Structure 1
Amino acid sequence: MRILYLHQHFSTPAGATGTRSFALARALAARGHAVTLACGQYAGAVTGLAGGFRRGRREGAVGPFRVVEYAIPCGNAQGLPARAAAFLRYAARATALALAETWDVVVASSTPLTVALPALAARRLRGTPFVFEIRDPWPELPRAMGVGSPPLWAGLGALAGAACRGASAVIALSEGMARTAVAHGAAPGAVSVLPNGCDLDLFGPHVPPWRPAGLPAGTVLAVYAGAHGVANGLGQVLGAAALLQAEGAPVTLLLVGEGAEKPVLQARAAALGLRNLRFLDPLPKPRLAGLLAGSDIGLQCLAPVPEFAELTAPNKLMDYLASGLPVVANLGGATARLLAGDGEGPCGIATPPGDAVALAGALAALAADPARRVAMRAAARGLAERRWDRRLLAGRFCEVVEAAATAPALRAVAVA
């Protein structure tokens, strides 16, 4: 089959951002399908293509599949208007590609939600079936964070409804996201939950460990690796660092990544005189794997927004589990249940959202208990191997896409 995979934020493992679409496109290609992945230029991503752009586009083979990359920069450090413009520009270019060639099925991976526009156009004008993947539910999360306005949320809700109703299949990364798809009109039987998986080849105890130079001897290293934006609520980590420093706890916190809030966080850390907190620029995935192998705790942090409990599926959490790291998170809901082990033994500690005191307490407790950390390490890697192996999830993803493509032919009709 000829498959068009739309993901604006695609990256290979050489980049510093998520690689889900790389792994899934490769899995589709391994089953004999001709896969074209269309993307933009996401901050921290490495698409695998080199050379100049011609008319704002370049393309080539990246392993077993074709990549079409548009010269449309986008990243968390941009303001909302600039990001919105990038989303719409990508949707326009991807729509042209979706209509210019013949496809058996289109996979539209959101966010941004505007990736549904080319899929809907191909469905309406060419009768091409599509699979809609929800990585972050819009408008639910922007509305919960107060980003945008009621008219914008209404427009996003209408687009989400059209995508969920028009898709031959919907893939959600969590049960909470699946419920939003059904609320937007997707048939329950058409929705599959396929969470982020663990890359057990890239991350794990087989990776040579490393640590940044100059760390105090004997320190317990807790690493946060991800975006530094408003949604991440990293001010709580600074608050926890101040408490740990005042108590003399042997913990060093390392924040790895980039985002609009990073300069603010660095200035605040300097003002507080935090000697136990450091910042690093984003790292390519193989380099990050070595850092996690050399760390003691993985840190998951989000702003205290109640909707985050069930409507998020962070990549970094899967990387921590694959690396065999005990995790400290400030989330309830799905993350808290996962860290409790779901009956297989705890692999971390969940603290109340927004509670820097509890976050510091959990870090100090793990730092003081090496045996507990060892047990959680084993539980984390065990869960990664038994339940979250990305290779198993990729097989299920391929089955959903293949079933959508081979469903009874769709007529070229308007999607309500």
Structure 2
Amino acid sequence: MAEIKVPELAESITEGTIAEWLKQPGDFVEKGENIAELETDKVNVEITSEESGVIKELLREPGDTVEVGDPIAVVEAGEKSSGGEASSKEDKKEADDNKAEEESKAENNEKKQAEPKAEKNEEEESAQDTASDRPIASPSARKLAREKGLDLNEVPTRDPMGRVRKEDVENFEKNTKAAEKSSSASGSDQKSSPQKQDEFAGKSVERIKMSRRRKTIANRLVDVQQSTAMLTTFNEVDMTAVMELRKRRKDAFQEANDVKLGFMSFFTKAVVAALKHFPLLNAEIQGDEIIKKDFYDIGMAVSTDDGLVVPVVRDADRRTFAGIEQEILTLSKKARDNKLALKDLQGGTFTITNGGVFGSLLSTPILNAPQVGILGMHTIQWRPVAIDQEKMENRPMMYLALSYDHRIVDGKEAVSFLVKIKELLEDPEVLLLEG
């Protein structure tokens, strides 16, 4: 027997939450094969087996918090034949399941024949409905469900074929008891607090436990608000020149580079150029020291189902427009597929967030600590703009927002930084020289 333990994750990560078991008791695993997915504060990590053999027991449930070094499963070391035996057991279970189904149908037919003819039609319809709704389950699962008085239709299963196993019934019973205990405790709290009892006045609500990542995001945002002197300045940029340049070049650009020419490469180039003019926005505070950085690793905020993540485009100053677009595309896909590694998220010097893709007209972005600057992009809207004292034109306009840490960045510097970005975007050819 060998224990599978939570491995060393990263210097700043000491614990995680079991997100999903990829293997179940009785399954054969090869050495190095993934058996579980662990959710950490930053990314999801797959835990591998250090032994080849059959999983005998899972020591933790999905949702449990585990620390580095904690045992989470037990593997009985063995050769691949063990997998064959496990497979044979599965085949036997399937045969037993089929036999049980046939016996059940035979029993139903005997009962139908013994019942009065007057109720025959009604009973046949009921029996057909029951048979069609009857879940697929192993005999041991059915037996346990009967003993515990549980409805197999309510028992969730991880089996891809939908088969309910004994361990599924056991887990369902544990979760049901825990929910009843929690409900009981909540009920006693409500009795002691009439105000809480009337909180929702009998309205339907759904309580959802926050994921580890969501809690981490919430804590970090609160910490930033409390530990920095955050201030935001705004400006607007006329996107006419950028949009015309994209329109002229987008087909040739995509054909040459196999990636679309988007807005993010223009903004990244403009940010890098502006950071070179105003280096304090590319710095951070450590104790009583200011760390100025001579490299430009630009974070790109990406929204996923699990929350906001900020993968980093490394050495953005050395990349071409095509290189930036390709890297953003790769990182965004990895983020949405939950495949980001810790190295993809660490060490950014400045962040860009684009709320405009969701229709945001204006917002105040929150700093991504320990960075001291973040640029917020917003939706492009056609608005009438005064060209001079006599002439008005409809132009594609975008509001920009720069949040900065006022402890080391003064208002003059922040405003000038944003004006520099505005100038570069309204004359994008200059980006080839400045960026």
Shorter chain as normaliser: what TM range?
under 0.3
Larger Rg belongs to: 2
Task: Using structure 2 for the length normalisation, give the TM-score.
Answer: 0.26
Task: Using structure 1 for the length normalisation, give the TM-score.
Answer: 0.26
Which has a greater percent of strand? 2
